[in-house]
Amino acid sequence: MKRTLDMAAIVLTVFFLLALAAASLLGVTGPEKASIGYGMLVTDAAGAMFYRVFASRNLVIVAAGVIFLILKLWKPLAILVTLTSALAVFDMGVRTAYGRTPPTFHAITLVLIVVTAVLLWRRAILARN
């Protein structure tokens, strides 16, 4: 069971990082198109630039996550993934505050992040003992 949960932590982390990287690369290369899927259409140059900055921030998170994963730094990876959940909550909160329903993928992403974070914290705590 321990090995299964350890593998689940790694697989979910890799899946999460790949999904975030893919969405972010789409946002950097085509912010107008990517913003449609995000639920907030970008229609001007300033909005496109802002969306690229937003997507680039996510790529930095991906890079840090990949480095932590490769180096088997479970605690920093658990911290990073846990804090990433705040981004999903914030995105949903902002959209809701402005009277827009967040896309379903935000809630699904939040659940994925929380499950991944729990598994990573478990692994980090067990690695310490």
Tokens 């893919």, located at residue = 22
Residues across the chain: 129
Helix spans in the chain (H) = 2-29, 31-38, 45-70, 74-97, 104-128
Per residue in 60-86, pLDDT (tens digit) is 999 999 999 999 999 999 999 999 999
Given a contact cutoff of 8 angstroms between Cβ atoms, the answer to whether 13 and 120 are in contact is yes
**The predicted structure's pLDDT at residue 7:** 94
**The predicted structure's pLDDT at residue 24:** 93
Q: Which ranges of the chain have pLDDT less than 70?
A: 129
* Tokens standing for residue 57: 């921030």
Q: Alpha-carbon distance 77 to 84, whole Å?
A: 10
Q: Please report, for residues 76, 80, 91, 102, the alpha-carbon distance to residue 62 in angstroms, rounded to integers and kept in the order given.
A: 13, 10, 18, 23
Phi/psi at 72 (5° precision): 55, 40
**The predicted structure's pLDDT at residue 129:** 60
Structural domain including 16 reads: 2-128
